[in-house]
Structure 1
Amino acid sequence: MKLTKYTHACVRLEKEKRVLVLDPGTFSESDEALAGADAVLVTHEHNDHIDRPAVLAALRSNPALEVFAPAGVARALAETVQHSEAPADVAARIHDVEPGSTFDVAGFSVQTFGGQHALIHAQIPVVANIGYLVDGNVFHPGDSFVVPDGIEVQTLLVPIHAPWSKVGEVVDFVISVRAPKAFPVHDGLLNELGRGIVEGHVTRIGARYGTSYTRLATRESVEV
């Protein structure tokens, strides 16, 4: 499977000429990531994880595209479609997902984990968040450190930096999952100095537990 990283939280997976996109947000090159996509997985409602105009435009232009998201996100997208001039079938291709479920889409198998966004502050409401494991291989946790139970993740997408985390929690997440390979997501707010500090700890300590961490630049691809 080919994995391509875009700015911040978005990744694109390609296998056998099918394309699955996770979290095409407003910080990312969403239009580019969504080009030719067969399915989209959205972890939660925050704009850095879903660029609503871009996703809706892709749904309108691509009659085969399906979108999966937490119930509130799916409902809001469907309501927007219903109040527009989009074809009637567009809303039918927007699906809500719950944690602890499995489904197949576009030739990919998907398992869901978690349920809620990590706490930012007591006065900021917690929203739904779904982590997705694709083909028993690539795990995107969204904005959480949920660890898939009973699963040996092969490729971990690590939220390297966020308003809701600290470096120790990032390292503990990598240690807990113990995937052989790890790559960064949620890095759009870091400068090079900050990246060096966080990634240095993740690389050094993660290696002790069998995880090889590799930085990916925007639009860089790897086989996983």
Structure 2
Amino acid sequence: MLLTKFTHACVRLEKDGKVLVFDPGTFSETDRALAGADAVLVTHEHADHIDVDPVASALLASPALQLFAPAGVAAHLREKAPDAGSRIHAVVPGGDFEAAGFAIRCFGGQHALIHPQIPVVANIGYLVDANVYHPGDSFIVPDGVDVRTLLVPIHAPWNKVGEVVDFVIGVRAAKAFPIHDALLNDAGRGLVEGHVTRFGAKYGTEYRHLSTGDTVEV
């Protein structure tokens, strides 16, 4: 399976000629990420994870494109792209399904707390082919499974470096790559990634930086 990093939390997986895209948001190259996509997984409703208008347009333009998201996101997209309604699916924690030949399991349920006065929204973490785990905006550790490839939200209004490190230690995947990094400058990225690399290695996780457009085999 090939994994390509796009800006922020958007990631593209390719296997056997099929394409799965996570979180094509407003910080990402949405049109490029969605080109040729067979399925889209959305973790939650925030704009940096779902750029609604381009995604709705892609659903209308591609008759086979499927989308999976928490119920609120799915309902909003059905309003924006009613002709694609049958291809827009609501998912729940603990569920599993197949999308474009990829086996998906769902974890979590809610977004990490930003501030007590900011409402907490639904958030689903997705494990693909018992391999790649995208947690969205949460540090939920999947229970009862071994994750081989972890996508790590390395910077956000809802996290701090110690929590990022503890998440990597808790999951203990063999490999880890960054997501949710659009707001970092080079100095901040180097600081966070230094900690994740050093502490992750102590617990068996090899952390590797990916820049936008980089592709690796996982």
Q: Normalising to structure 1: TM-score of the pair?
A: 0.97
Aligned residue runs from structure 1 range 148-159, under 5 A: 148-159=142-153
Q: Distance in 2 between matches of 1:103 and 1:51?
A: 24
What's the CA shift string for 1:98-153, capped at 9, x where partnerless? 00001011000000000000000000000000000000000000000000001100
Q: Which amino acid aligns with 1:137?
A: N
RMSD over aligned CA atoms reads 0.5
Q: Distance in 2 between matches of 1:75 and 1:43?
A: 14
Aligned to 2:72: 72
Q: Distance in 1 between matches of 2:145 and 2:182?
A: 29
Q: Distance in 2 between matches of 1:54 and 1:9?
A: 16
In the TM superposition, residue 81 of structure 1 has moved relative to its aligned partner by 2.1
Aligned to 2:7: 7
Q: Normalising to structure 2: TM-score of the pair?
A: 0.99
Q: Distance in 2 between matches of 1:201 and 1:218?
A: 21
Partner secondary structure for residue 105 of structure 2 = strand
Structure 1 unaligned segments of length 5 or more: list them: 83-87
Q: Which amino acid aligns with 2:210?
A: L
Aligned residue runs from structure 1 range 129-144, under 5 A: 129-144=123-138
The yes-or-no answer on 1:199 pairing with 2:187 is no
Partner secondary structure for residue 176 of structure 2 = strand
After TM superposition, the runs of 4+ consecutive aligned structure 1 residues lying more than 4 A away are none
Structure 2 unaligned segments of length 5 or more: list them: none
**Percent identity (aligned):** 71
In the TM superposition, residue 79 of structure 1 has moved relative to its aligned partner by 1.5
Partner secondary structure for residue 89 of structure 2 = strand
Q: Which amino acid aligns with 1:36?
A: G
Q: In the comparison of the two structures, how many residue pairs are matched?
A: 218
Q: Distance in 2 between matches of 1:195 and 1:92?
A: 41
Aligned to 1:99: 93
Q: Which amino acid aligns with 2:96?
A: T
